[in-house]
Chain A
Amino acid sequence: MTEQRAMRVEVFRCDPSEGVAPHYERYTVEGRPEMRVLDVIRSIYEEQAGDLAFQYACRNGRCGTCGVKVNGTPVLACQERAKATMRIEPLSPFPVLRDLVVDRGEVEQRYLELELTVLREAPHAGSRDAVEPGRAREIGTLGSCISCLICVSACPAVAERPFDGPAFMVQLRRLNRNPADRGPRLRQAVEHGLLECFGCDICTQLCPADISPADVIRGFRRDLVLRPVAHGSRP
């Protein structure tokens, strides 16, 4: 017989479209100890609250859509182990659409404004770009950002200062390190709050894609001092 345990869960509920004010609802879920937070949310949805709104897609930490706060810490619900006592909330500081679903519209808009594709001086030559292997590995790693916004939600500088967040810096750095890109990535990074980062490394500790956004920001800052003109990046 498999071991079962009872979990006491508080879930943030809110529906601005129906005028339901933000509040927490309590549920008790029976399940195996290795359950993930997403399993608990789905259990609540299927058995206790069919109107609970939440998001997920891949269930293996690659799509970045199931980000929630568990006991105050932003995590991917599909990766995080369920706790005996949990408070599950939507990611802050994003506007809540309903329950655990946040509006990512503003984030998507900012991504659009940053033109996060390779901006070339001349049209694409139709051949592969020559990239030094170490640099290619770095670009590939930065490209593995899943835009889950956990780093943005956890970042204390985003909450206090005009800083868009570590995820934006990662995207800009990915292009900044691409030799073919001629976009003003360093200037964009500065405009979007590069210098506001506290250097606390919370983003690195929580990143589900194992990227170090804090190190990306430090790299940008070193460039700002040492190589401000590189790749048309004069701020």
Chain B
Amino acid sequence: MTTRAAVRLPRDSTRQAEGLLLGEIGRVLNRWSGLVILAFVAVHVVGQAALRVDALYPLLTVAPLLASFQGDAWVRALLFASATYHSLYGARLIALELGARLSQRGSLVTTIAAALAVALREVVVGAWR
């Protein structure tokens, strides 16, 4: 039946303007995490091209971090957190499309927590290296 909410929502119809729009938070985070992944791929491709194509090698003299930035713990933390969030959010959307019933708050918190855990691991492991 389509009239029952697929996502259970925290709801008080007299205080709608006070509550967080969880869907909007999730959507914006999804967009930003996607942009982070795209930006990483773009910079990574340029960096690797500079290492392998002689004509682009001078780029490394201007921006030496191009070749090594992916090794930075904070970059990895941001990238892995973004990839985790983006994947789980996408999986959640697909599950809902297929008829799954999820708690909106619970699924969002779980997704964010998983992304943060992955980021924390990268920072801790990076500091240990």
Contact = CB atoms under 8 A, between A and B. Distances in A.
B3 A80 contact: no
Interface string A212-224: 1011101101100
Nearest to B99: A222
Interface residues of B, number: 28
A201 B23 contact: yes
A81 B5 contact: no
Given A204-B7, A212-B3, A199 B97 contact: yes
B3 A211 contact: yes
A215 B21 CA distance: 17
Question: Ordered nearest first, which 3 A-B pairs have the shortest CB separation?
Answer: A200-B23, A219-B2, A141-B3
A206 B16 CA distance: 7
A219 B96 CA distance: 10
Interface of B: 1-7, 9, 11, 13-19, 21-24, 26-27, 93, 96-99, 104
A70 interface: yes
Interface string A140-158: 0110000000000010100
A71 interface: yes
Interface string A34-68: 00100000000000000000000000010000000
B51 to A, nearest CB: 38
Contacts of B19: 205
Given A79-B13, A222-B97, A216 B23 contact: no
A208 interface: yes
B6 A215 contact: yes
A25 interface: no
